[in-house]
Chains A and B, each alone.
Chain A
Amino acid sequence: MDRVMEKVGKKLLTLSAIIATSTILFIAIMILIGTAPALRKFGFSLLGTVWNPNLGRYGLLPFIISSLYVVVISLIIAVPIGVLSALFVVEFCSKRIREFLEALFQVNFSIPSIVYGFWALVFIVPILREKIQPALINYLGFIPLFSGEPRGFGVLAAGIILAIMITPLIAAISIEVMKLVPEELKLSAYALGASKSEVAFRVTLRVAFPGIGAAILLSLGRAVGETMAVLWVTGNVAIIPKSLFDPCYVLTSVLVNEFGASVGDPYHTSALFSIAFILLLMSIGFVSLSKFIIKRIERKWGRR
């Protein structure tokens, strides 16, 4: 009887393992199957610039460029702040303060994305529209990047809230990577007469660089997949944004908005699947690459 139980038990365990590991395959297969009709019918014209389901035009370029634009802006803001904060926490703080600050980063990171999105709608958009954008247009309006009307919504708003969301992530990973920098390197630098800030920037930052690169890639992956935080602040217009103040339409927002409404139209649904496919590729690509780099680093410097 025990033998039978053992056999059944083992089969159950195997089944669990199969379910857990093959989920990703099922997801990938489903998305590919869903994309097939659109690919077959439209092929490369899917990379067109016009998205108008009612006229049968399914150009995905506005969404791809919107997502990339917004994410790049968010990185430009988040990376310096995140990395420099991490440097501060690791090099300029006592152990107890460090633990406290790390916990604070964790707290910032656990705020649900819909809360960030809500706050962006009621706080960031009005401030941009009433104070910041008019000022920018006044002084820098001649640059195409800052041209347009102050609407509040658009690339800049989305970039800012995404930046706020991913800064704790960049900081947390950078902190972990900086902790791995061997003491000997720092001690030798001090012995040679370096000051704290010199050690921080010339040793820790330099050595931790690949790890920081991994952090950036990871945040890229997360940011591109963010839905609720940017849904209400991008303006949701399927154009290719040029200025920071232009409205845009990111990959995730199209999926949320149009998936329910595409029920009747198989090509529309299929085009949406191709959007999901691109989204999946981008997120998985960035995240996996980043984890790969982190593993290499951990192996090199050893885990602490």
Chain B
Amino acid sequence: MGRLKKVVLILLLLDATMICFLAINSPRKKITIAGSSTVFPLAQRWGDIYMDLYTHMSVEITGGGSGMGIIATGEHTVDIGMSSHPLEQSQRKRFPYLVEIPIALDGVAIVANENVNDTLKLTREMIVSIFSGVVDTWDELEEMFNVSIGISGEIIVCVRADKSGTTDVFSKWLSMDPNWTLGHGEVISWPKSPRFISGNGNQEVLINVKNNPSAIGYVGLAYTTSEGIVVAEILNPSTGEYIEPSQDTVKIAAQREILYPNESLFDPNISGAYPISRSLYFIIDREFIIAKKYVIEFIRWVLDDNGGQRQEIVRDVGYVEISGTKLQELAISIIEELYES
């Protein structure tokens, strides 16, 4: 039994050392970020690089959807909220100290399973009829809009179940068509039909589209480079052009005079611009964040042309940098003001 006792004592000693170590150390300065699944991969990437640069910092990112991120920021359970749409009136009322900071550009793309067709040219009316459930099959779509689609059979519509900024932006763009009756918001009451499959996060929508041969869905730009899907070209009503969502076409949509961070980038009257473009935001509570200089420094780095806004970082994740746009100027001025206080 003597040998066993020795082993046990050594284990206990090691265990005690580890516990003391964990208890004494204060946690690495942690920046907590939560919210939109669209912004998630970009924030993860930034967090990764930032942690490599500043090894005493820790950046923890969780999902949950834009809505959840905004609420968590307002209730001070996280430092930064990620949102793929600007603050709603109700959110501004409830949390008066929240501020949106644009940090990147994105588009909402319509993707379909590669079986559906080689290419897909869609107008807003066609998209409205698909996503409101008015059109049940690809054949009906062909008839109604005089287009040709490679398959027949029912349309599987892949939508979001969780509170999502992507849903909010998409539905807002659809609301510009009088035939869209389902309203807009982070959650939509999709038609109760087994043709509509919901998922949580862009990831699941993409999985659903890839796995169903007759499926169509909406995802953020970063999720369009996957195999097994076809990305639709959308008609920009202001210019009459069919534009494919890409990082360049989205950047073009932001190349103009912008006065407010939450301005809409829809249907821009610029040649080559993608109609369903949007800004991505970090949401912060200005009162809460003022004491946390290290969080402000992180956001400063994110907005810097040589920091987070480097093309090889942002475009690699699938989004578009805001360098050289009015949005970047607005964002930097907000952050600098907070830093000075």
Please determine if A and B sit in direct contact within the complex, based on CB atoms under 8 angstroms apart. Answer: yes
| Chain A residues at the B interface, C-beta cutoff of 8 Å | 52-55, 125-126, 129, 148-149, 151-153, 232, 235-237, 239, 246-247, 257-258, 260-261, 263-264
A151 touches B156 (CB 8 A): yes
**Known interface pairs A55-B189, A126-B211, A260-B64. Does A237 touch B197 (Cβ–Cβ under 8 Å)?**
yes
Chain B residues near A149 (CB, 8 Å)? 154, 156, 194-195
Chain A residues near B77 (CB, 8 Å)? 263
Chain A residues near B71 (CB, 8 Å)? 263-264
Chain A residues near B189 (CB, 8 Å)? 52, 54-55
14 sample A-B contacts, Cβ–Cβ < 8 Å, listed by A number:
A148-B194, A151-B197, A152-B211, A237-B196, A257-B162, A257-B200, A260-B62, A260-B63, A260-B68, A261-B64, A261-B67, A261-B162, A263-B77, A264-B67
Q: Which of A53, A246, A263 contacts B75 (CB 8 A)?
A: A263
Chain A residues near B198 (CB, 8 Å)? 235-237
Of chain A, the residue at the smallest CB distance from B192 is A239
B187 at the interface (CB under 8 A from A): yes
- C-alpha gap A91/B185 in the complex (Å): 63
- C-alpha gap A126/B211 in the complex (Å): 7
B317 at the interface (CB under 8 A from A): no
B199 at the interface (CB under 8 A from A): yes
Give 9 nearest A-B pairs by CB, closest first. Answer: A264-B71, A261-B68, A54-B187, A260-B64, A257-B200, A261-B64, A263-B71, A237-B198, A261-B163
Q: In angstroms, how far is the closest chain B Cβ from the Cβ of A164?
A: 20
**Which one of A53, A232, A260 has the highest number of Cβ atoms from chain B below 10 Å of its Cβ?**
A260
Of chain A, the residue at the smallest CB distance from B71 is A264
A125 touches B211 (CB 8 A): yes
Q: In angstroms, how far is the closest chain B Cβ from the Cβ of A256?
A: 9
A153 touches B62 (CB 8 A): no
A153 touches B211 (CB 8 A): yes
Beyond A237-B197, A239-B192, A247-B194, list 10 extra A-B contacts (CB 8 Å): A149-B154, A153-B197, A235-B198, A236-B199, A237-B194, A237-B196, A247-B197, A261-B163, A263-B77, A264-B75
**Known interface pairs A151-B212, A152-B211, A264-B71. Does A246 touch B187 (Cβ–Cβ under 8 Å)?**
no
Chain B residues near A258 (CB, 8 Å)? 162
Chain B residues near A246 (CB, 8 Å)? 194
- C-alpha gap A153/B204 in the complex (Å): 12
Q: In angstroms, how far is the closest chain B Cβ from the Cβ of A125?
A: 7
B72 touches A263 (CB 8 A): yes
Q: In angstroms, how far is the closest chain B Cβ from the Cβ of A150?
A: 9
B308 at the interface (CB under 8 A from A): no
B161 at the interface (CB under 8 A from A): yes
Q: In angstroms, how far is the closest chain A Cβ from the Cβ of B66?
A: 10
Chain A residues near B102 (CB, 8 Å)? none
Of chain B, the residue at the smallest CB distance from A152 is B211
Of chain B, the residue at the smallest CB distance from A243 is B194
Tell me which residues from 249 to 282 in chain B have a Cβ below 8 Å from any Cβ of chain A.
none
Tell me which residues from 142 to 199 in chain B have a Cβ below 8 Å from any Cβ of chain A.
154, 156, 161-163, 185, 187, 189, 192, 194-199
B65 at the interface (CB under 8 A from A): yes
Chain B residues near A129 (CB, 8 Å)? 211-212
Chain B residues near A264 (CB, 8 Å)? 67-68, 71, 75
A261 touches B65 (CB 8 A): yes
- C-alpha gap A125/B196 in the complex (Å): 18
- C-alpha gap A129/B213 in the complex (Å): 10
Chain A residues near B63 (CB, 8 Å)? 260
Of chain B, the residue at the smallest CB distance from A50 is B192
Chain A residues near B204 (CB, 8 Å)? 232, 236
Q: In angstroms, how far is the closest chain B Cβ from the Cβ of A15?
A: 20
Q: In angstroms, how far is the closest chain B Cβ from the Cβ of A47?
A: 18
Chain A residues near B197 (CB, 8 Å)? 151, 153, 235, 237, 247
Of chain B, the residue at the smallest CB distance from A151 is B212
- C-alpha gap A257/B192 in the complex (Å): 20
Of chain B, the residue at the smallest CB distance from A149 is B154
Chain A residues near B194 (CB, 8 Å)? 148-149, 237, 239, 246-247
- C-alpha gap A149/B136 in the complex (Å): 13
What string of 1s and 0s marks CB contacts (under 8 Å) between B194-229 and chain A?
Answer: 111111100010001001100000000000000000
Q: In angstroms, how far is the closest chain B Cβ from the Cβ of A287?
A: 29
Chain B residues near A261 (CB, 8 Å)? 64-65, 67-68, 162-163
- C-alpha gap A239/B191 in the complex (Å): 11
Chain A residues near B208 (CB, 8 Å)? 153
